[in-house]
Amino acid sequence: MNNPLLVVGSVALDTVETPFGRKEEVLGGSASYFSLAASYFHPVRVVAIVGTDFGPTHRKPFRDRPIDLEGLVVASGKTFRWGGVYGQDPNERETLFTELNVFEHFRPELPPGYRDSQFIFLGNIDPALQSIVLDQVPDRRFVGCDTMNFWIQSQIDSLKKTMARVDALLINDQELYQLAGKRNLLRAAGIVLGSGPRLVVVKRGEFGAVLVSGDQRFLLPALALDKVQDPTGAGDSFAGGFMGHLARTGELGWETFRQAVIWGTVMASFCVESFSVDGLIGLGEETIRKRYQELRDSTRWGREEPI
């Protein structure tokens, strides 16, 4: 396989309530959303942990895609569970419960066949575990990394060590401000870039995404959708489109990064239209390209001359 792509993160069973309904114990977790979104661009290897209650029905979405589950460990006990509720504002949610179960003892050990992975995405797990993953893939070409407010608050020193070893940090705007200690997006991104990554991708939910690298920047709005049922997993689906495009092309220039943001935005738009991973299942190439064209058309400038 050219440019092997690896994701290390969580596979979970989620209970989610939004103004459009409620679903109990449906497939979730960062590695689930990422791998399904990325698989439309490039085969994916998954490293995660589940319990003995994770059965064939839960595995089916992965089995139907070019997703390698050799690194999915089954441990005695229950699968990680999370529950949350969204109000009318899809950017705000309340966590109702978090049950780590077998995920509490997760220590990522890559199968020998995964250690040649060149493109790696580190889901928002403990930054110490993220570093353990990097120790196992010395010949990597590009690493994307996510984190969350809990790790910023409790493991900042470990997180900074991990950030010094990655190429891109994909993070939402509130977490960026918390990490950098600044409320200005570009100033905060500049501070993070000074700590190691060459790219910062700021996920802004329904307001789109911002890509920053040095004095280069790219701002892209989200697609205007008339149906947003469940925002869970949108950021990980974005990361899947982003990293999947990089692995597919094997190129790491600015224009490729810009295109990766576009494809990430496209995949996130499919995710939010349904509960759980349902919006990422059964997509055809024509459907994905049509959505890409819709985004392109809605953001294209005319040929008017500036004043």
* CA 224 – CA 243 distance, rounded (Å): 23
Q: What is the pLDDT of residue 192?
A: 96
Q: pTM of the entire structure?
A: 0.96
Per-residue pLDDT at 14 exceeds 90: yes
Backbone angles phi, psi at 200, to 5 degrees: -125, 125
Per-residue pLDDT at 17 exceeds 70: yes
The domains of the chain are located at 5-299
Q: What is the pLDDT of residue 256?
A: 97
- 258-286: pLDDT as tens digits: 999 999 999 999 999 999 999 999 999 99
Residue 258 CB partners (closer than 8 Å, separation 6+):
211, 218
- 25-62: pLDDT as tens digits: 999 999 999 999 999 999 999 999 999 999 999 999 99
Q: What is the pLDDT of residue 99?
A: 96
Q: What is the pLDDT of residue 88?
A: 86
Per-residue pLDDT at 303 exceeds 80: no
Domain covering 5-299 in this structure, CATH number: 3.40.1190.20
> CB burial class (10 A; 0-12, 13-18, 19+) of residue 188?
buried
The mean pLDDT of the chain is 95
| Alpha-carbon separation of residue 304 from 69, 221, 268, 300 (angstroms) | 51, 21, 31, 12
Q: What is the pLDDT of residue 136?
A: 97
Per-residue pLDDT at 75 exceeds 80: yes
The residues pairing with 44 across neighbouring beta strands, listed in sequence order, are: 5, 67
Mean pLDDT of 188-200: 96
* CA 263 – CA 223 distance, rounded (Å): 12
Per-residue pLDDT at 301 exceeds 80: no
Per-residue pLDDT at 305 exceeds 80: no
Helices (H), the chain: 30-38, 56-63, 127-135, 149-154, 156-163, 173-180, 185-193, 234-249, 254-271, 285-299
* CA 211 – CA 171 distance, rounded (Å): 11
